Structure 1
Amino acid sequence: MSSIMAGSREHFGSKVGFILAAAGAAVGLGNIWGFPTQAASNGGGAFVLVYLFMILVVAFPMLVVEMAIGRHGQANPIDSMRSLSDNPLAKKAGSVVGCIGLAVPCLVLAFYSIVAGWLITFMFAAVTDILGFESASAWLKDFSVGRNLFGAIIFYILTILIVQSGVKQGIEKWSTRLMPALFALFGLMFVYIMTQDGAMEGLKHFLVPDFSKVFDRQLLLAAMGQGFFSLTIGGCSMLIYGSYLSKKENLPKMALSVTLVDTAVAIVAGMVVMPAMFVAMQKGVAIYADDGSLLSSDTLVFTVLPMLFDSLGFVGELLALVFFVLMTIAALTSSISMLECPVSLVCERFNTKRKPTSWVLGALIALFSVVIIFNFGQMFGLVATIATQYFQPVAALLFTLFGGWVWSRNSKLKELSEGCPEIENSLFWKVWPLYLKVVCPILVATVLWASFG
């Protein structure tokens, strides 16, 4: 089946297109909102140091296997998992693993779109603030069912419009525009924030590690979990993007490039958000509680930063617009990869056209989001927890076990050699297969154990 599909399968047109699209899938609110918040809660520079180490030892080796499984199968997550073995029982198990994996992007998209909808309404509010439409701004910033529906629906429409155009014309075209815009806007914000009082202190807190905290159990687990989610390991996006990657490309090298771009965004976000927090503290905004813990860590982006922007007058209004445009871009580059997972499955399995499939599946997940919005208190946190703390690590663990134990060593070597004939003699190949079998599952199980505990 995969060989029939491979002939007609669309591929990314360029290396840069793939790297920016895959990094875009990984760069989401987790990097721009989650990472600086985690760093602020866990000793600043010490967290950053441990995070960088975790990205290298946990996330990168697993990213290689997820992308390799996708490229080997040249298909959606279920068929790609089935392609790893000829054993009928292993094929059945592969289908189950693929289904669990596919549940992740669908569940994540359901709550993620609501948060992204808030970003869109805050972005509109920044425009109405500049224009002086006070009542419109108040509605856009107020937490109401109507406002939440409005933002989420606009976000879904944007996501579907990109996915319906396919890999080259949709995902690649928009990722190569949106990702450079993200870096440019971050650069502008960084330059401005650094001219404010207190910013330097924030930057020091972010970049200079307190080595006494490096081995703190809480910090180690937080850094491992953040590294894991930062690269959407177990979220199926990397598997599906890997299936659109040409066989001529060097897989470990591509995975490393994606890892570096994703990590760069997280670090740059921290270099903007952390100094901004310290600038806000200088202006009297309460950020830390008396015991040193972060106040309102989950709403940092919607409370602390808007307060800072308000205190900067007109420049602050412009900064707010730039910041929320930036957040919306980051959310979009992730959501398109989430919707692509079920769309690719339905298009391939039922031979449907991409455009109607994108709208129907997008609308179905959007309906689930509407149910969450109407029952926000009971459902939002629950769906987010089920998706990110249980389903995603379980999927990642199963992908790793399948990639390490079910997929034969020779077949793995053949897949990686396609774009890199000399890989068999490299240090990477000497370490990676065993590392994947033993070390990765233990590390992922640790993240799972921590989230249950």
Structure 2
Amino acid sequence: MSSSNSGSNEAWGSRIGLILAMAGNAVGLGNFLRFPRQAAANGGGSYMIAYFIALLLLGIPLMWIEWGVGRNGGRYRKGHLPGMFAALWKHPAAKYVGVVGMVVPLGVMIYYTYIESWTLAFAIFSATKDYWGITSQEGMIGYLRSFQGLTPAGGTEYHASYTPYAFFAFTMLINIYVLSKGISGGIEKLAKIGMPILFLFAIVLAGVVLTLPAQPGVGATPAQGLEFIYAPDFSRLGSPGIWLAAAGQIFFTLSVGMGSLQAYASYLSTKDDIALNGIATAATNETAEVVLGGSIAIPAAVTFFGVAGAMQIAQGGSFDLGFATMPVVFQQIDKTLPIGNLLGVMWFGLLFFAGITSSVSMLTPITAFFREEFGIAREKVAWTLGAICFCIGMLHVHWLGHGFLDEWDYWVGTFGLVLVAITEVIIFVWIFKPENAWKSIHMGADINIPKIFKFIMTYVTPIYLLVILTWWGKDEALPILLNQRSAGSSSPVSDVDMPYITISRGILVLFVIVFLFFIRTAWKKNGYDDRKGFVEIDTNRAES
């Protein structure tokens, strides 16, 4: 494949590497933890109807739009949203609007890598049978809380206080090492290794779970677990909450609104297909989520705890399901089939690979910005960013119990994704014009996208996004901002947590200010004329 970003000597080594990396960016923890929990808690089959409608009207159109925005930016050697927006909209404000595409991926990467480190830790705990003998849901929740440093007074502590810090540091080190090796030398290689392992582990786990017999005293089967997720309750389709939950999951699962898909696409030329590749990426992700993600955790929980027990577990949260329920299930399986700890390694190993193939992409647009605008070497940018992420990430580890991470998860990992998405739709489709956007997506295309999607991208997707943004703004963002409720629960922010919430938000605001400064500096340094735009580079030149 050729590189449009020839000035930085970056290119994808192969089409399969590109698709696996794009899919790895999309396939993350949400596929196997958040999706089954959301489906079970929001009406099962009714949720799936709303989910697939959101996929068609939001997910797939946004996937094409982000590939289009990214590849168009690559024509001008811009692998970051400030440059991409300035290339589409020749206005002085465009580059500053793009700051959302810098703050969101940085913020998400920091706390996401911390959560990712839990999966690595629990894979090792499974291999060593460290939690073996803790056979109740409540006991495993206590074990998880101990690892997180959240053991209540008088509770049992299973881990040394340094344990979560050590695993976070090691996980961050792996991420930055891969990032420092570049597109084909680091990210693509990781995807080619990690994605096949992920799918292998998921297929084996799904096969074991779906063939489990009914357990004595429970009587439920894996088939009832699938019915629990997918059987529709049409009366619930009238609830706006289901539609908002489904739309939110689409953002999580496809990693749209992050800025990383655009950065990956910037390393393509106008001769490279993005129409078919975009669909292939979405299909790979949906296979991981719907077919495999929906066939492991909830069916396993139903088999060992019954439908009522699984419902209660699903209401408890994604982390309790993945980190507390599944270890209990593996120990139960081990009684009749002595491979419980191996299944634990595979489960948490699959979560780790799902996490790291996503997290390594998140700093790509910021790395591209400093390389392209300031000429700083990739390795230096990567390790400097890594040091910053590590230091700020330590606050998430240390202040987890004070809502520090919950704030970021909402403002950059939920609300921020929709903000980026609606911004890029307005700029790419409305300002750049629908005809130009449609033509851009079809450059080098191996398929013709059905024309109905042009109408969807122009009208349906932006309206859908506006509704979500307005609804979340009224029902969630404003109450959270005013501290009427915390980002992690429905209760108000306590006086004890208030200082930590203030610091958490202050760092995000500082990110915005710092990136705005760097954007302004870059434009002045390089003498860009906002009204004239950039000079197009040779989009067909191979990597040198």
Please report the TM-score for the alignment, with normalisation by the length of structure 1: 0.90
CA contact (8 A) 2:179 2:186 kept: yes
| Alpha-carbon distance between aligned partners in 1 of 2:224 and 2:361, rounded to the nearest angstrom | 37
Aligned Cα RMSD in Å? 2.6
Question: Could you tell me which residue of structure 1 aligns to residue 462 of structure 2?
Answer: 441
Question: Could you tell me which residue of structure 2 aligns to residue 155 of structure 1?
Answer: 171
Question: Could you tell me which residue of structure 2 aligns to residue 395 of structure 1?
Answer: 420
- Helix, strand or coil at the partner of 2:98: helix
Question: Could you tell me which residue of structure 1 aligns to residue 207 of structure 2?
Answer: 191
Q: Which contiguous aligned blocks of 4+ residues in structure 1 show a shift greater than 4 angstroms?
A: 130-134, 138-141
- Helix, strand or coil at the partner of 1:302: helix
Question: Could you tell me which residue of structure 2 aligns to residue 143 of structure 1?
Answer: 148
* Structure 1 position 410, deviation (Å): 4.9
Matches within 5 A, 1:328-347: 328-347=352-371
CA contact (8 A) 1:140 1:147 kept: no
CA contact (8 A) 1:18 1:245 kept: no
Question: Could you tell me which residue of structure 2 aligns to residue 319 of structure 1?
Answer: 343
Highest Rg: 1 or 2? 2
CA contact (8 A) 1:11 1:246 kept: no
2:316 aligned residue (295, 310, 316):
295
Matches within 5 A, 1:1-20: 5-20=5-20
CA contact (8 A) 1:121 1:141 kept: no
Given the superposition, is the C-alpha separation of residues 149 and 232 from structure 1 closer, same or farther in structure 2, using an over 3 Å criterion?
same
CA contact (8 A) 2:4 2:270 kept: no
Q: Does 1:174 align with 2:199?
A: no
**Partner deviation per Cα, 1:247-271 (whole Å, 9 max, x = no partner):** 2222222111111111111111111
Q: Percent identity?
A: 26
Question: Could you tell me which residue of structure 1 aligns to residue 491 of structure 2?
Answer: none
Question: Could you tell me which residue of structure 1 aligns to residue 245 of structure 2?
Answer: 222
1:76 aligned residue (71, 74, 79):
79
Q: How many correspondences in the alignment?
A: 438
* Structure 1 position 437, deviation (Å): 3.1
* Structure 1 position 434, deviation (Å): 4.1
Question: Could you tell me which residue of structure 1 aligns to residue 120 of structure 2?
Answer: 120
| Alpha-carbon distance between aligned partners in 1 of 2:115 and 2:355, rounded to the nearest angstrom | 9
**Partner deviation per Cα, 1:225-257 (whole Å, 9 max, x = no partner):** 111221112110111111122322222221111
Question: Could you tell me which residue of structure 2 aligns to residue 383 of structure 1?
Answer: 408
**Partner deviation per Cα, 1:244-301 (whole Å, 9 max, x = no partner):** 223222222211111111111111111112211112315x994334xx9723444221
CA contact (8 A) 1:124 1:140 kept: no
Matches within 5 A, 1:33-432: 33-74=33-74, 75-77=78-80, 78-85=82-89, 87=90, 90=91, 92-129=92-129, 142-144=147-149, 145-196=161-212, 197=214, 198-267=221-290, 268-282=292-306, 286-289=309-312, 294-313=315-334, 314-378=338-402, 379-420=404-445, 423=448, 427-428=450-451, 431-432=452-453
Given the superposition, is the C-alpha separation of residues 17 and 422 from structure 1 closer, same or farther in structure 2, using an over 3 Å criterion?
closer
Question: Could you tell me which residue of structure 1 aligns to residue 140 of structure 2?
Answer: none
Given the superposition, is the C-alpha separation of residues 334 and 115 from structure 1 closer, same or farther in structure 2, using an over 3 Å criterion?
same
| Alpha-carbon distance between aligned partners in 1 of 2:65 and 2:79, rounded to the nearest angstrom | 15
**Partner deviation per Cα, 1:21-50 (whole Å, 9 max, x = no partner):** 111101111111111110110122222232
| Alpha-carbon distance between aligned partners in 2 of 1:266 and 1:4, rounded to the nearest angstrom | 32
Q: Which moved more, 1:205-214 or 1:95-104?
A: 205-214
| Alpha-carbon distance between aligned partners in 1 of 2:309 and 2:119, rounded to the nearest angstrom | 22
* Structure 1 position 126, deviation (Å): 0.9
Q: Which moved more, 1:109-118 or 1:405-414?
A: 405-414
The letter of the residue matching 1:350 is F
The letter of the residue matching 1:110 is I
Given the superposition, is the C-alpha separation of residues 345 and 8 from structure 1 closer, same or farther in structure 2, using an over 3 Å criterion?
closer
- Helix, strand or coil at the partner of 1:438: helix
CA contact (8 A) 2:59 2:250 kept: yes
* Structure 1 position 315, deviation (Å): 2.0
| Alpha-carbon distance between aligned partners in 2 of 1:328 and 1:374, rounded to the nearest angstrom | 22
* Structure 1 position 329, deviation (Å): 0.1
Given the superposition, is the C-alpha separation of residues 132 and 326 from structure 1 closer, same or farther in structure 2, using an over 3 Å criterion?
same
The letter of the residue matching 1:401 is I
The letter of the residue matching 2:208 is Y
The letter of the residue matching 1:248 is K
Question: Could you tell me which residue of structure 1 aligns to residue 503 of structure 2?
Answer: none
CA contact (8 A) 1:116 1:151 kept: no
- Helix, strand or coil at the partner of 2:315: coil
* Structure 1 position 160, deviation (Å): 1.0
| Alpha-carbon distance between aligned partners in 1 of 2:20 and 2:14, rounded to the nearest angstrom | 10
Q: Which moved more, 1:271-280 or 1:42-51?
A: 42-51
Given the superposition, is the C-alpha separation of residues 421 and 18 from structure 1 closer, same or farther in structure 2, using an over 3 Å criterion?
closer
The letter of the residue matching 1:367 is C
User: Could you list the runs of 5+ residues in structure 1 that have no partner in the other structure?
Assistant: none
**Partner deviation per Cα, 1:328-369 (whole Å, 9 max, x = no partner):** 000000001102121111111111111121111011112111
Given the superposition, is the C-alpha separation of residues 139 and 405 from structure 1 closer, same or farther in structure 2, using an over 3 Å criterion?
closer
The letter of the residue matching 2:294 is G
User: Could you list the runs of 5+ residues in structure 2 that have no partner in the other structure?
Assistant: 135-142, 150-160, 215-220, 476-544
The letter of the residue matching 2:101 is G
* Structure 1 position 222, deviation (Å): 0.8
| Alpha-carbon distance between aligned partners in 2 of 1:140 and 1:247, rounded to the nearest angstrom | 50
| Alpha-carbon distance between aligned partners in 1 of 2:238 and 2:269, rounded to the nearest angstrom | 41
